[in-house]
Each structure stands twice: as C-alpha cells, then as structure tokens.
Structure 1
Amino acid sequence: MNVEQIIKTEKKIPLERRTIIHFMLVNNKINESISKALKPFDVSLQQFNVLRILRGQNEKPANLSTLNERMVTKMSNTTRLVDKLILKGFVDRIICPSNRRKVEISITTEGRNILKKIDSAMIKAEKSILENISKKELEQLNTLLNKF
C-alpha cells in the first residue's frame, strides 16, 4: 500500500506522519472488510463485539459496565446497542428484582446460533485481510503493535 499514491500527493510525507496515515488507511480497510462480512447477518461490528463478549461470559450475564469495559471500540451508547440486539432476539435484558437499578444482559440461543454463522464469515474475512502476511510477519507486527 503506497500512502502517497492513495492520498494522491507527490510530496514526500515525513515518516511519522506517513506511519499514522498508513495505520488509518489499514484500519479503514479492515473495518470495510469486516463490515462487509457482517452485513448479511444485519449485525454491526459493535453489536458483534457485544455478542462475543456475552458468549465469552459462559452463561453468566453481564452488566452494561462490563460490556463497555470489554468493548474493542469504547463507546457511550452500549445501551442502544443492547436495545437493538434485544429487538433482534439475540440478547435478553433482566432487571434484578432486589435492585431495580441493576440490569443484566445475557445472550440468547438465537444469539449463539447467529454467532456460529458469523464466526465462519469472520474467519474468511480475517484470512482475506491477512492473506499477504506470513505467520512470522504477523508475530513481528503484533510485537511492534504491543509497544503502543
């Protein structure tokens, strides 16, 4: 990926700025690929993230704070995401009878089933995104990214 060609400039971009622009372009490409993989399931990337967090709870419900803490993309509208997933039948919201302020979210059987279908689409998308990078290069890249 040639940054200068993509942003259509003939000027030499300083290395630090070029690196940041490169990250942004790669991020956009990854988001586009993942969104395209999720589109047939009518699930956004953030909704997918919530479903995976809930599946990882191993049958234990999570509260909104837990979901927000574990989200890859931090956002303040977790409640809205959960509401949309409830409408789709993928999650349930349970209000604690002893403390009505305590709300717990759990994944439904339908939510688990859609995640199984999404998982195979995501594996294909991930392989496609990373097809030009060897396992050794991925390990190196992750080592470098850990420095952030």
Structure 2
Amino acid sequence: MSLSAETEADNIRLDLEQRSFYIFSILATQINRAVARTYVKKYGRPENAWKILAVLNKFKALSASELNQHTTLEMDKITRLVDVLVERGFVLREQDQKDRRKTIISLSAEGKKATRHLEASIATMEREFLIVLSADERESLYDLLTKLHLRAGQIFGDQR
C-alpha cells in the first residue's frame, strides 16, 4: 500500500498546510511570540524569561534541571535567564538545605508581582484565542490535547 493510500485509509492529512505537526508548530510560535511581546513590553528582554516566571508561579521553588523539565528551554538558556531574573530581583537563588550541591530558584516578591501581571495578560489572550469555540468544543479540545500530550510522551519521549 502506498503512503497516499495509507493516508487516505486512516484519514491522516499529510499535506503541509494540513499536517498537525506543522499547524502545532505555527500555533506554538505565534502564542510564544505574543506572550513574549507582552513580557518584553513591560519588563524588557530576554523574551523567554516569562516561561521561567510562569513555571515558578505554578511550582513555587525548583532547581534549574526541574525548570528544564517544565519548559522547552535548554539548560544553558535557563541558567542565563535565571541570572538575568536574579539581577532584576524577580527570582531568588538559594542553596538547597537537603542537597547542598543543588540550587533552588523561587519567585521574589517583585517576581510574584510581575507574574500576576503576566498571568492576567496570558489569561486574556487565552480567552480571546479560545472564544471561537463553544464550551463543549473547548472541553473536547482540552481532552484531545491531553491525549496527544500523553501519546507524544510515549512515542517521542524527551528528545531535548
């Protein structure tokens, strides 16, 4: 059976503009750029610093390697971003009391304030983005995204 016949049989669209990987990539880039613009407009560069703030807001205190597990950022970028965020007073870096070799990163009071502003902006963008879907469609989307995220972990693993 040819690739074309297989694709037609399982209803998988592989034409570039309809390919899920391509569409997800474009959407992710557009969303990341929109959030980064919001962050940079208020706080300046680096534009990916918002990712560190958002993750720390969720998980409170993490090591650099744990930040890596929750972002798409490489370790060297995380280190540089954390350095900048420490200089700006947005995050604190402290030695782990249980494992003295490990450094724990957390939001400072100023970082929490910046994150509240950032999270409000992201929530507004998310609502504006998803408003074209009905409540049922949004629930279906969330279910589908969860299913695809789990599948991606099964077949691609962590390929950073």
TM surpasses 0.5: yes
- Counterpart in the other structure of 2:94: 94
Separation of aligned partners in 2, 1:141 and 1:45:
28
Give CA-to-partner distance per residue, 1:100-127, whole Å, 9 cap, x none.
5321212110001111111221122112
Structure 1 outlier segments of 4+, above 6 Å: none
Check whether the contact 2:36–2:48 (CA below 8 A) recurs between aligned residues: no
User: In 2 relative to 1, CA 44–144 (structure 1 residues): closer, same or farther, beyond 3 Å?
Assistant: farther
| Residue type of the alignment partner of 2:104 | E
- Counterpart in the other structure of 2:35: 34
Residue 92 of structure 1, CA deviation: 1.4
Check whether the contact 1:90–1:111 (CA below 8 A) recurs between aligned residues: yes
Separation of aligned partners in 1, 2:25 and 2:59:
32
Q: CA RMSD in A?
A: 2.6
| Residue type of the alignment partner of 1:90 | F
Separation of aligned partners in 1, 2:93 and 2:41:
25
Match runs of 1:71-110 below 5 Å = 71=71, 73-77=72-76, 78-95=78-95, 101-110=101-110
Match runs of 1:1-148 below 5 Å = 15-17=13-15, 18-20=18-20, 21-41=22-42, 42=44, 46-58=48-60, 61-71=61-71, 73-77=72-76, 78-95=78-95, 101-148=101-148
Separation of aligned partners in 1, 2:106 and 2:131:
35
Greater RCO, CA 8 A, separation 6+: 1
Separation of aligned partners in 1, 2:45 and 2:135:
29
Separation of aligned partners in 2, 1:15 and 1:86:
46
Structure with bigger helix share is: 2
What is the TM-score with the length of structure 1 in the denominator?
0.72
Structure 2 stretches lacking a partner, 5+ long? 1-11, 149-160
SS of equivalent residue, structure 2 residue 132: coil
